[in-house]
Amino acid sequence: MKIGYLIKVLPNLEEIVPEDVESYVQISVQGNGLYTDEDLEKIKDVDAFIVSMEPVNEQILSAASSVKIAQRLGVGYETLDLKATAERQIPACNIEGVNKEAVAEHNMALMLSLSRRLPQASALTETADWPAARTLTASAFELKGKTLGIVGLGDTGSSLAKRAHPFEMNIIYSEIREVNTELASQIGATRVSHEELFRTADIVCICTDLNDQSRQMINSEALALMNPDTTLICCARGGILDEHAVAAALKSGKILQAGIDVFEVEPIEQGNPLIGIPNCILTAHVAGVTKPTSARIWDWAHENVRSLVVRGERPRWIRNGV
């Protein structure tokens, strides 16, 4: 089989590509969001796309007459044109649950770092300002007894709830879909509305998909419901937060602090309003990226492609109804 890897930031593909891949090409979009004619020529006879954050759209689908599957590397699939792939009977797939533990742990890492003011404490300690570093303890807090609000109790949200439960946190969640009520019952999690969650949670963790209902969910109206001691964490998808509104809330003291791993435009641009805010930790969409998770993502992606292209089986995790 021949694979087109739609990837901007190159891993060492020679170490990743399995032996049964006869040939492969790698391309990515230009700054204008389009593929070059030269790159489109390279993928005209590929059997499959394996996609990082590059778009699978009309332009590339029109050029790739042999492609049989578009496989996303990860959980999100907003870069896959579901309508255009469905019209061509090409399954558009993500990988469900592949990095849920890693993302849940990153949420916990941000939660713990923010609760103990670790970035500020580290910076002050490195300047030998010992008294100032120790005064940060006045605003530090323990997780025990705090109310954790999880928006989206799917794979990642459930994994986060399991990790937060031993910290003796009170867990509430909001969700627009059916959820694992057995798990919620086991950990004593209570389902509430989005509005009630924003009003009552000490720590708000966004774990939902990016969709029409969640886009710009954390806007000025949602932030107005939160209290000045709220910690906001988002390791879900860029586009769920109104970044300008969150930046304004952080600077004005409307919310206490934030930890954010995903952004509307990635890689993050210098003009992003969240950059340089001292009570905000930013990470580069790495919540789901660990050595074991990365290996698992590549293995599962190649196996899903192989199931259709080599064995003629129906692939898993189809998102466009084909």
Q: Does residue 133 belong to any structural domain of this protein?
A: yes
Is 135 a residue whose pLDDT tops 90? no
- Give the contacts of 87 (CB within 8 A, at least 6 positions apart): none
Alpha carbons 96 and 93: distance in angstroms, whole number: 9
| 115 and 54 in a common domain | no
CA distances from 91 to 94, 125, 209, 225, 304 (A): 10, 53, 20, 41, 11
pLDDT of 10: 67
pLDDT of 181: 80
| 153 and 231 in a common domain | yes
pLDDT of 136: 84
| 176 and 131 in a common domain | yes
Is 134 a residue whose pLDDT tops 70? yes
**For the chain, percent of residues with pLDDT exceeding 70:** 100
Alpha carbons 192 and 149: distance in angstroms, whole number: 9
Q: Does residue 178 belong to any structural domain of this protein?
A: yes
| 164 and 71 in a common domain | no
| 243 and 105 in a common domain | yes
Alpha carbons 92 and 30: distance in angstroms, whole number: 23
**CATH (domain of 25):** 3.40.50.720
Q: Is 153 buried (19+), middle (13-18) or exposed (0-12) by CB count in 10 A?
A: buried
| 247 and 163 in a common domain | yes
| Cis-peptide, bond into residue 267, ω within 30° of zero | yes
Taking the CA atoms of 81, 209, 249 and 260 in sequence, report the sign of the dihedral they define. negative
Is 24 a residue whose pLDDT tops 90? yes
pLDDT band (50, 70, 90) for residue 198? very high
Taking the CA atoms of 238, 242, 244 and 250 in sequence, report the sign of the dihedral they define. negative
Return phi, psi of residue 281, to 5°.
Answer: -95, 130
> Catalytic residue numbers?
237, 266, 285
Cα atoms found within 13 Å of the Cα of residue 308, Cβ hemisphere only: 26
Q: Global pTM?
A: 0.86
Q: Does residue 11 belong to any structural domain of this protein?
A: yes
- Kindly report which listed range (97-101, 122-126, 134-138) carries the lowest average pLDDT score: 134-138
Range of the domain at 53: 2-97+290-309
Question: Residue 87 is encoded by which pair of tokens?
Answer: 């019209």
Q: Does residue 128 belong to any structural domain of this protein?
A: yes
Question: Residue 50 is encoded by which pair of tokens?
Answer: 């394996």
Q: What's the mean pLDDT in 186-196? A: 93
CB 221 within 8 A of CB 248: no
